[in-house]
Structures are given as structure tokens and as C-alpha cells.
Amino acid sequence: MEQVAPLAAAIRDADSVVALTGAGISTASGIPDFRSDSGIWNRFEPEDFHYRRFCNDPKDFWEDRVELHETMFGEKVEPNPAHDALHELAEEGYLHTLVTQNTDGLHDSTAETAAKLIELHGNAHRVVCDSCGRKTEAGPVRERVESGERPPRCGDCDGIFKPDVVLFGEQLGKSDLQCARERSRNADVFLAIGSSLSVEPAASLPRIAERNNATTAVVNLDKTPFSALAEYDIRGDVTDVLPALCEEIAD
């Protein structure tokens, strides 16, 4: 952890700090990851959550979707010390942009602070009408699915509700992506946290920052494709490293 002190100093001096988070920040909250042996894709077929299936068979799609939600959020899921540390950094003005690949909504509290939250893959706690684009809370809609309304329909236009996440076969939101790239380009410090940095577009964000002379850091249990390029490559548990970083900055 000897890299924490100089990284903290860089964050204190920076005008623009961007953090990117991936699945590794949420496993400590009990959310299964997707790609490991015990991961989601060992229990479900990715094809079941393809946009094509939503279009062709929304009834069955929603049935599986409710089951997936149970698997991901069955136990009560709460933010962990790594989420809390980012929230604190944002509140104290040290974190300006938080980009996440996660759809679990565990950064929601940070969205209420000064940092801009960009959810690249959407948020599983919301649904969006596939026709009129109206967004609403997912909980009550899932309850309607459970009591037999399949697929659930929008009260405004009778369109079909879709989880407000980027399904396989769907494009990422253009403006979110543009904003994430723009902020990465202008970052003084870029932190990649709990992301394997193997999936685009997240993989390219630290590279954009690095090319534009940002101080870059990777905090992850395993080596990532960007680790060798990062100024600080901290291999460790995000729930240890981030609170330590936060403490160091406050000192």
C-alpha cells in the first residue's frame, strides 16, 4: 500500500478526478460477478437477455429477467466501504466524475453529491418504455410481472417496459459515452477500480486519460491489460484500498 500516499497527494492537487468502477467493486456487497466460475453466466444464458429476445418474446424475457434479478439482489444488497469511500471523496470535492460499468445502483448515493455519475450500462432499478422512453422505478413493475402481467406495459402509451440497462445487441447511450470520454480526456487523475478493463468502451477510458497526461491508477485484485501502463498499479481488495486512500487524502 506504499503507493497510496503519493496517489492521495496527486488527487489532492488535481482539478479533475475521474473514477471508473467495474464488477469488482460490487462483489463485496454480495453481487455475483458475470464471468467467473460462480458468475451469472454460468447460471443464465446471455442470449436470454439479448435485445432480440426482448423484441421477439417479451413475455419469456421478463420471466427470466425477474429470476435474474432475484439471483443478483436476492439478499439485501448494500453499498460497501469502497462505495462509501468514493461517496466521501465526491462529497469533499475530490472526485468529479464517476463512470460505472455496473447496473446495480450501488453508486446512487454518489449521484446526489457534486460528482457526475455516468452509468454506462444503465441501472437495473429502473425500467424504460420501449416506445415513449418514459423511465420509472423497476420494483413495482417487477411486482406486476410476478403477479402475471407479462410483458409489463407503460400506462402512458401501452408500449412495453424494458429494464433500463444496455442489453446484448444494444448500443451504449451515445451521450453518456461521449461524456465519459470527454471527462477522461480532461482528467488530471484517472482511477480504474475493480474493473478487469477488458470490455470496451471501459477499457479505452484509462488509455484516453493516459494519452492526455493524466496520473493513472489501477486498483484491482488481478492484473489488467492497462496495469503495466498505469503509474500506480495497486493489487488489492478495493474495500481496503479505497478507505485507506480516503483517509490519506483527509490527513
Question: Shortest CA distance to 103 belongs to which of 83, 118, 84?
Answer: 118
Catalytic residue selected from 83, 87, 96, 121: 121
Quick one: 154 or 189, whose CB is closer to Zn ion? 154
Compute the CA torsion angle 84, 87, 89, 90 (nearest 10 deg). 180
Minimum CB separation of residue 111 from Zn ion in Å reads 24
CB of 182 to Zn ion, least distance (A): 31
Contact indicator for 40, 71 with CB cutoff of 8 Å: yes
Please give the C-alpha separations between residue 189 and each of 97, 225, 234, in angstroms, as whole numbers. 11, 19, 15
Measured from the CB atom, the residue of 130 and 188 that comes closer to Zn ion is 130
- Distance, in Å, from the CA atom of 4 to the CA atom of 57, rounded to the nearest integer, reads 50
Instruction: Give the DSSP H or E segment for 205.
Output: helix 205-211
Binding residues (CB under 5 A) for Zn ion: these are 129, 131-132, 134, 154, 156-157, 159
Work out how close the CB of 128 gets to Zn ion at its nearest, in angstroms, rounded to a whole number. Answer: 9
Rank residues 151 and 194 by Cβ distance to Zn ion and give the closer one: 151
Active site residue 121: yes
Q: How far is the CB of 171 from Zn ion (least distance, A)?
A: 20
With respect to Zn ion, which residue has the nearer C-beta, 93 or 155?
A: 155
Catalytic residues: 121
